Structure 1
């Protein structure tokens, strides 16, 4: 995003606007944190701002300041689409292609509103008038901090904005342990704490509110863990029956894939989750070092993301998806063993 872009955006935001803020389908901590941080910021400037998500999100994110103001497109379709059609500006956060919004894709594509993208994923589509796209960033929430800073307005960051930004940076960096966590990230975190983000409370609200059934599901997932030593790969499966057995709720499998990557000498981890309602197998991929799960997912599983964290999907059965995955791995053995 150039200085000229920022100048134009400041001019746009100088007068009250109808603004819609949208994250991707199945929003995570970075998606909810970034949209609500921007919402609080725009409200301070007297804009008519609304956050609308394509569908529901995990309970452990529903304490975040501003959560009660979020609209859900799948259950409040008419209200959401009316607001989109009357919007002056649409901010798209934590995604860079409209298909990532599921059933919102058509109405967003057809909208005449000016669009501003803020995102850190690879290979962005060219739909936005203004694009703040940086794959080196730890999270979209870190980019929201930089965006406010570029507008010369960090003095307006209060405890609500700081809390929202902290959530997204914390969750998207695996509590600050992923390679995308830089010294600048930590400097921003320090400033957020100074602004009123309660780091201990935020961590507790996100990570320490598990249900008994969620931990039982984790035990089931770990019992399904398989290792392929020659490919330095580990994978986990969860069938629909297993999900039902432990009363699965959205968000219950968040982060489970990382257990595979925690094994010694493993550089590639995957989890395959059966979703009979959508008729697909949902796939999450993680890696260490230079092995790109983004490229792997794009080529084989209709997905994408980052070099070390990506998602995908398969319309095969769970059994056939696993067989496909295992059959592909030998062609990547050299890359997987080079790290």
Structure 2
């Protein structure tokens, strides 16, 4: 294991560094990865961001995005970079299985593994860990790592600030979740002072939908929404045919579950989608309801109390039925 002093000594000299994050990266995954990347290149490090899969187009504008390598598109190059790395930063995930085939490569690498994350129950694969489940986003922890652990606040320039603001904004649901503390707002103020243009970032992320995405959203709300008032629960279920009909692209399903949760009486919302190889679930909840407990116990998943995800090898119909059969177990929590 590395202690902080040893890590700081290591980073005092240019290193070959790989930064990676979970598959199908979201705003926090890409914001924290590119925020760290833009910090490290100022220090003269040879850094590369490698994502396990593609990610939404509405995140492709961030500074440094042109340098991102997508593993599924450049497997040999990615494997060579990981094998040759001195340090691998593992951001916004805490288990090597979350980076798909890259997990074996990172696990086998002789590089120091640095985990920066805010998810529960991390695996023990890292050499240094900056971890806090109370952080609203991994991007918040990257800020803390740069400013308070490495003591380089002056290196939080406009590019770093822009990326970290994006990560915090998206993972806090635009600063609406309970873990958006006064500390988070102070960090965000610092990022704006450093050059993050808050209104423009919001426009680029949230106001860049395609016509197809809006029509797909309309279909989900009009035809796929099921409300279970006896459990204060709502389900949106989408099959493969729907995805093909509306030409759904990476990122087009992101956030749809929140529309189901937006109803005043709903405490638990599920977005269940039939993908090519498995059925995926995205759960959101209000208050103290443990969405992460459901996916951990029944759907090989995990996450946060109010935002969690899982998957199943069963059919879409079987997964919907299983989810409904679980609800009586949680009825007291759902109707209180």
Where on the TM-score scale, by shorter chain, does this alignment land: which range?
A: over 0.9
Higher mean C-alpha displacement, 78-87 vs 223-232: 223-232
Deviation at 1:109, TM superposition (A): 1.0
Match status 1:201 vs 2:203: no
Counterparts of 2:265 and 2:5, CA distance in 1: 49
- Partner in structure 2 of residue 244 of structure 1: 244
Counterparts of 1:148 and 1:104, CA distance in 2: 26
Deviation at 1:6, TM superposition (A): 2.5
- Partner in structure 2 of residue 69 of structure 1: 67
Match status 1:144 vs 2:142: yes
Q: Deviations over 1:171-211 (max 9, x none)?
A: 00000001110001001111101000001110000000111
Q: State the TM-score, normalizing by the size of structure 2.
A: 0.98
Q: State the TM-score, normalizing by the size of structure 1.
A: 0.97
Counterparts of 1:323 and 1:152, CA distance in 2: 52
Counterparts of 2:264 and 2:18, CA distance in 1: 45
1:58 to 56, 59, 70: 56
- Partner in structure 2 of residue 99 of structure 1: 97
Deviation at 1:238, TM superposition (A): 1.0
- Partner in structure 1 of residue 291 of structure 2: 293
- Partner in structure 2 of residue 336 of structure 1: 334
Q: Deviations over 1:195-245 (max 9, x none)?
A: 000011100000001111100000011121111111111110111111111
- Partner in structure 2 of residue 164 of structure 1: 163
Q: What is the DSSP-based 3-state SS (H/G/I as helix, E as strand, rest coil) of the residue aligned with 2:186?
A: helix
- Partner in structure 2 of residue 322 of structure 1: 320
Q: Deviations over 1:33-59 (max 9, x none)?
A: 001011111100000111000010000
Deviation at 1:327, TM superposition (A): 1.1
- Partner in structure 2 of residue 25 of structure 1: 23
Matches within 5 A, 1:250-269: 250-269=250-269
Aligned length: 334
- Partner in structure 2 of residue 313 of structure 1: 311
Gaps of 5+ in 1: none
Counterparts of 2:225 and 2:203, CA distance in 1: 27
Q: What is the DSSP-based 3-state SS (H/G/I as helix, E as strand, rest coil) of the residue aligned with 1:180?
A: coil
Counterparts of 1:5 and 1:39, CA distance in 2: 22
- Partner in structure 1 of residue 273 of structure 2: 273
Deviation at 1:264, TM superposition (A): 1.3
Match status 1:46 vs 2:47: no
Counterparts of 2:326 and 2:183, CA distance in 1: 38
- Partner in structure 2 of residue 112 of structure 1: 110
Match status 1:128 vs 2:126: yes
Counterparts of 1:191 and 1:6, CA distance in 2: 24
Counterparts of 2:258 and 2:171, CA distance in 1: 12
Q: What is the DSSP-based 3-state SS (H/G/I as helix, E as strand, rest coil) of the residue aligned with 1:123?
A: coil
Deviation at 1:319, TM superposition (A): 1.0
RMSD: 1.1
Counterparts of 1:207 and 1:6, CA distance in 2: 37
Counterparts of 2:306 and 2:208, CA distance in 1: 27
Q: Which runs of 4+ in 1 moved over 4 A?
A: none
Counterparts of 2:231 and 2:131, CA distance in 1: 33
Counterparts of 1:75 and 1:190, CA distance in 2: 37
Deviation at 1:65, TM superposition (A): 0.5
Counterparts of 2:19 and 2:207, CA distance in 1: 29
